[in-house]
Structure 1
Amino acid sequence: MQTSIIDALRDTEDGREADRILRACTHCGFCTATCPTYQVLGDERDGPRGRIYLIKQVLEGETPTEKTQQHLDRCLTCRACETTCPSGVEYAKLADIGRDLVDQQVERPARERWLRWLLRHVVAYRRRFAIVHALGQIARPFLVGPLLPLRQKLPPQRPRVAWPQASDTRRLMLVHEGCVQPVATPNTNAHAARILARLGIRLVAPSTAGCCGALSQHLSHREEAHDFARANIDAWWPYIEQGAEAIVITASGCGASITEYGYMLRNDPAYAEKAARVSELARDLSDVLASEDLSALGDIGGGRRVAYHPPCTLQNAPGLHDHVAEILAQAGYQLTHVSNAHLCCGSAGTYSILQPEMANRLRSDKLQSLDAEAPDVIVTANVGCQLHLEAAAQRPVRHWIELLEPEALESTRSVAAA
């Protein structure tokens, strides 16, 4: 693609990076075939190729409008377009640059500004989010009438699962806890720690690590995202120096961000080398387990039917690898067929809050596909997908790691029976 970026941007880091990405695009349109929003709306501007043109126009000096902003906001950043692009266009990186440029020139309505501020300053901080979540649980019985949708979005409280006792095993791995998952689904990492302990691996969650930075990154506050990345690197580095084998990711949305720390901080002389090492060590939980001998776990599935929703980040982020289906099959579960498994469920981080109409439409389509063969349980590998689907599902929705522990299996049976 030919470009003519304006002088004010041409020699900036964003300008050079955008120019590099744009020049790889050949206008072929293959990306539109896998774009969830284009499939629903049928508008070229709500597909990757159209959004690329909108960003190109802004880079070339055209003044963006609220419409420009709206079309970029509707993008899920699911990166499905990247997997079908024959030219290797790095659309997600270009989208972050484009959103930032547009947000600098188009002021949002006050309500949107406040909502985005709250998301960045509450949800991204574990303790603050925990307070809000606790208040929501207290208020749950009173959320009726027009407030019922809020009640449905709150995940049900479940008995806490204990982490395994500390062991003297020589194998050490870190786990990224993040901001939402420890509060909304705290058992996910506990189950992961228990399974890994049975395989001789000690899982450690450094208390000073926090949000991965993805939330800020996609809300046009990239430097804030970089600060979160630096804080996590500082929290993990002493353990990496002690020989930690991996940074285990149990929420693929966070994993997609952490595997790009090396890219994000490539120009930071104090962190570039450490960030690259962290990106190398980041591995999805399924990738870690797939390299271990799981025969000791036995055939605990007993042929129970499971519908697996692979999160977009686990399917499309280049630094992650998905082995969930094969692990569950090895454990004795029967995986049902899910049509259009490549399409996003509509969660996409804060997307379900900022774009509820589109998010709910995509969720409805996704649940229809997941329910088609009447599974006993729906599983996924990302807390955002789990919470979003659970709010409207007619059957249990769990993180897949829960199905590898017998007690979690019994809990799922009880929920299904109810």
Structure 2
Amino acid sequence: MQTNFTEDQLRDPGLARANEILRACVHCGFCTATCPSYQVLGDELDSPRGRIYLIKDMLESGRPADAETVTHIDRCLGCLACMTTCPSGVHYMHLLDRARVHIEKTWKRPWRDRMLRGALARILPYPGRFRLALLGAKLARPLRRLVPDARARAMLDMAGAPIAAPSRLDEPQVHPACGSRRGRVVLMTGCAQKALDGDINAATIRLLTRLGIEVVIPRGEGCCGALVHHMGRETEAHRFAAANIRAWTGAGAEIDAIIVNTSGCGTTVKDYGHMFRNDPLAAPAAEVSAKARDITEYLAALDLPAPERRGLRVGYHAACSLQHGQKVTEAPRRLLAAAGYEVSTPADAHLCCGSAGTYNLMQPAIAAELGRRKAATLEALRPQVIAAGNIGCMTQIGARAGVPVVHTVELLDWAWGGPEPAKLRRA
């Protein structure tokens, strides 16, 4: 694609990066075939190719964002399926990030939008606040039909999810390895996940320590910044990320890996090196990105003992942030199969379930349709349990599926000597 940025514009590292990405696009349109929002809406401007044209025009002209551009950019899930499909290697993620920052700086949203986005930014990254908000939503849920705004109703619908109590396992500490130590890792305990499902971190810690891995929960870690990063709130996102970089690099040089068990967070953490490339934290940020591993990615590299083989039929949902964002595709399925599970994947496995961070709250109609389609394709497999590697996907699919939805690491923990996942026991 031909671009016409001025020399002054290209002195801005963000615009220079956008120019590189735009020039890589050859207008082929392969991305439209795998774009979830285009599948639902059928509008070229709701496809990656259409959004690229809008972003190019907005950034190149230097003009403030307008209502049409904001509408179509907001409808993008950021699932990154287009990056997997693109034959030219267009790094759509960084281009979308830049567009969102530009929109946040130059577009004044309607007051309801500002209130909603502000509330999400001040609640979701903080587990204590999120638990209180979920409790409040549970109390207000009987009034759902009286709420006129679809997005507010979607927030009340989230109250159907359980509220996880604070766990001492997530507090700053060192979980020692069982037997001789064969590794030492940091575990990112997350933010929203701690309020929605405490079993995931517990299973991760149990499994790693049984395998001889010492697990460090460092003081000062928190939200990865993804939730506000995807809203274009760059300063807040960098503040969260910087706190994590300092906490994790301060945990000691002998750390083998930084384990992330929420794939949406993992995609962002692995991008810290890019986010801070022009910052004094550039070197430690790059170190963090290099050490970040999804839990299944890390386990797949270990010499694992023989598991207690389980014979359940598992429908595996590949979270977009894992398969498209991190390119971790085979490890989860291979580990589940090695544990004796009968693993199958649904039709259109590359398509998003509609969760996408806060997307299901800000674009509830599109998200609901994608969630319905994803649950239907998974249930067509007739699984006894659905496994996924991201809490957002688990919540989105769990609200629509008729079988339990658990994190992949919970099934692996069970196979390698841990307890049966609580959701399976209840079912």
Q: TM-score, normalised by structure 2?
A: 0.90
Q: 1:364 aligns with which of 355, 367, 372?
A: 372
The letter for the 1-side match of 2:32 is: T
Query: 1:59 and 1:79 mapped to 2: Cα distance?
Result: 21
**Counterpart residue number, 2:285:** 275
Q: 1:400 to 1:160 in 2, by over 3 A?
A: farther
Query: 2:358 and 2:215 mapped to 1: Cα distance?
Result: 28
Deviates more, 1:163-172 or 1:360-369: 163-172
Query: 1:141 and 1:65 mapped to 2: Cα distance?
Result: 35
**Counterpart residue number, 1:415:** 426
In the TM superposition, residue 336 of structure 1 has moved relative to its aligned partner by 2.6
In the TM superposition, residue 158 of structure 1 has moved relative to its aligned partner by 7.1
**Counterpart residue number, 1:74:** 75
Query: 1:165 and 1:18 mapped to 2: Cα distance?
Result: 43
**Counterpart residue number, 1:21:** 21
The letter for the 2-side match of 1:29 is: G
Q: 1:156 to 1:124 in 2, by over 3 A?
A: closer
Contact 2:5 2:19 in 1 (8 A): yes
The letter for the 2-side match of 1:336 is: S
Secondary structure, in 3 states, of the residue corresponding to 1:409?
coil
**Counterpart residue number, 1:172:** 184
Q: 1:204 aligns with which of 216, 240, 244?
A: 216
Q: 1:340 aligns with which of 336, 340, 348?
A: 348
Q: 2:308 aligns with which of 279, 298, 308?
A: 298
In the TM superposition, residue 285 of structure 1 has moved relative to its aligned partner by 0.4
Deviations 1:341-371 (A, max 9, x none): 0000000001011000000000000001000
User: Please, which runs of 5 or more residues in structure 1 have no aligned partner?
Assistant: none
Query: 2:41 and 2:90 mapped to 1: Cα distance?
Result: 23
In the TM superposition, residue 180 of structure 1 has moved relative to its aligned partner by 0.5
Matches of residues 140-155 of structure 1 in structure 2 within 5 Å? 142=142, 150-151=156-157, 153-155=159-161
**Counterpart residue number, 2:49:** 49
Matches of residues 251-400 of structure 1 in structure 2 within 5 Å? 251-269=262-280, 271-299=281-309, 301-302=310-311, 304-318=312-326, 320=328, 322-400=330-408
Q: 1:158 to 1:15 in 2, by over 3 A?
A: closer
Query: 1:254 and 1:353 mapped to 2: Cα distance?
Result: 18
Q: 1:357 to 1:224 in 2, by over 3 A?
A: same
Secondary structure, in 3 states, of the residue corresponding to 1:3?
coil
Deviates more, 1:220-229 or 1:353-362: 220-229
Contact 1:284 1:321 in 2 (8 A): no
Query: 1:240 and 1:321 mapped to 2: Cα distance?
Result: 30
Query: 1:165 and 1:13 mapped to 2: Cα distance?
Result: 41
Query: 2:165 and 2:22 mapped to 1: Cα distance?
Result: 50
Query: 1:414 and 1:286 mapped to 2: Cα distance?
Result: 23
Query: 1:261 and 1:196 mapped to 2: Cα distance?
Result: 25
Contact 2:300 2:335 in 1 (8 A): yes
Contact 1:290 1:327 in 2 (8 A): yes
Deviates more, 1:124-133 or 1:343-352: 124-133
Query: 2:424 and 2:327 mapped to 1: Cα distance?
Result: 34
In the TM superposition, residue 165 of structure 1 has moved relative to its aligned partner by 6.2
Contact 1:162 1:190 in 2 (8 A): no
Contact 1:152 1:392 in 2 (8 A): no
**Counterpart residue number, 1:247:** 258
Contact 1:124 1:215 in 2 (8 A): yes
The letter for the 2-side match of 1:285 is: I
Query: 1:210 and 1:152 mapped to 2: Cα distance?
Result: 22
CA RMSD of aligned residues (A): 2.4
Query: 1:293 and 1:143 mapped to 2: Cα distance?
Result: 53
Query: 2:317 and 2:134 mapped to 1: Cα distance?
Result: 25
Deviations 1:26-53 (A, max 9, x none): 1111111111111111111000000000
* % same residue: 42
**Counterpart residue number, 1:129:** 130
Query: 2:88 and 2:158 mapped to 1: Cα distance?
Result: 42
Contact 1:287 1:322 in 2 (8 A): no
Deviations 1:130-151 (A, max 9, x none): 33234445x2885675578625
Deviates more, 1:48-57 or 1:168-177: 168-177
Deviations 1:62-81 (A, max 9, x none): 66421110000000111110
Deviations 1:353-402 (A, max 9, x none): 10000000000000010000211111100011111111222211111111
In the TM superposition, residue 413 of structure 1 has moved relative to its aligned partner by 3.9
Q: 1:165 to 1:25 in 2, by over 3 A?
A: closer
Q: 1:5 to 1:140 in 2, by over 3 A?
A: same
Query: 1:56 and 1:151 mapped to 2: Cα distance?
Result: 37
Query: 1:77 and 1:121 mapped to 2: Cα distance?
Result: 21
**Counterpart residue number, 1:84:** 85
